[in-house]
Amino acid sequence: MICEDQLVINKFVKEASKYTKLGEVADYIPALKTADPDTLSFAVFGETSSCLCAGDSNETFTLQSISKVITLALALMDNGVEKVFSKVGMEPTGDPFNSMIKLETHSPSKPLNPMINAGALAVSSMIKGENVDEKLSRLLRFVQDLAEDSTITFNDMVAQSEFDTANLNRSLCYFMKQHGVIDDDVNTLLEFYTKQCAIEVSCSQLAKIGFIIANEGKKLNSNEQLIPTHISKILKTFMVTCGMYNASGEFAIRVGIPAKSGVSGGIMVSVPNRIGIGIYGPALDERGNSIAGMHLLEALSNHYNLSIF
């Protein structure tokens, strides 16, 4: 028998799917161009709803900017709050995710927050490890633990495609190196960053990770603390203030839930103390967020009264 919530979800996913026609897949990373723009898949994970899904919730896609939340967690666990925020700020920018403008106009010249590319690159430079392989295997292990799946890995083709074309990110790195925010070799940092962005997950796995952040860092029905509570609070706060880039204000009003998007079309959502949601819809709006995913979340938030405000 299909439960009532599954019928509601099927209906909302079908309605939101219509918006895929109004968006476009990201093409500035060549390997992302081949995604099917009509796709929309969804999974929710939590105490009373594990695990409802719609569409192909096992299809994998790359994390892209969703990885910024996870690397921030690891960097904070590796270095502590004070050290991380000596290199990156806590304020939203209102600018596109890859903008350089505030790095130049603000003094001191540190990135305004960890959810824009400049801030995420600075955070990635703080992940502990002797070399890219060691940093990446620590990060992968962390993602595997959060999603409870030891097979999760990264897509080398997507990583290489981004590495070969990441001239804007390279320029952000050189600017930050000049101003003492990072001191890494730029291409080594970019190799790690592009591999972190290319970690592949499904909606179901993303919903599980979102749930742990929602559940103050703990697994479902367990006291195992994968992320310290104070860090899970920091993550949710950045997801609210900066998670949907320069659409974060509108998203807070229309949907009102901590969420983080990526240009592959993924969205990870953490409804505090309730559920985690994973969405994949690669057709993006002009600000780089999944267009159907945004409409789906608005409908679900209204129906289930999910807004935290």
Helices and strands, number each (H, E), in the chain: 13, 7
| Identified binder of ligand DON from the candidate list 190, 197, 269, 279, rule CB under 6 A | 197
Please, which residues have CB within 8 angstroms of residue 88's CB and are 6 or more apart in sequence? 110, 111, 112, 113, 114, 119, 122, 123, 181
Residue 219 known to be catalytic = no
What is the DSSP track for 90-153? -----S-TT--HHHHHSSS---S-TTSHHHHHHHHTTS--SSHHHHHHHHHHHHHHHHT-TT--
Residue 193 known to be catalytic = yes
Q: Which is nearer to ligand DON, 98 or 99 (CB)?
A: 98
Q: Which is nearer to ligand DON, 167 or 222 (CB)?
A: 167
Binding of ligand DON by 161 (CB under 6 A):
no
Residue 18 known to be catalytic = no
User: Which secondary-structure segment (H or E) carries 74?
Assistant: helix 67-79
Question: Looking only at residues 237 through 266 of this chain, which bind ligand DON when binding is defined by CB under 6 A?
Answer: 245, 261-263
Residue 280 known to be catalytic = no
Q: The tokens 């969703």 sit on which residue?
A: 66
Binding of ligand DON by 278 (CB under 6 A):
no
Binding of ligand DON by 162 (CB under 6 A):
yes
Please, which residues have CB within 8 angstroms of residue 126's CB and are 6 or more apart in sequence? 75, 78, 79, 83, 84, 87
- Binding-site size for ligand DON (CB under 6 A) equals 13
Q: Shortest distance, CB of residue 97 to ligand DON, whole angstroms? A: 4
Binding of ligand DON by 111 (CB under 6 A):
no
CB-based closest residue to ligand DON: 65
* Catalytic residue (one of 263, 269, 290, 301): 263
Q: Shortest distance, CB of residue 148 to ligand DON, whole angstroms? A: 24
- Report the interface residues with ligand DON, using CB under 6 A: 64-65, 97-98, 117, 162, 169, 197, 245, 261-263, 288
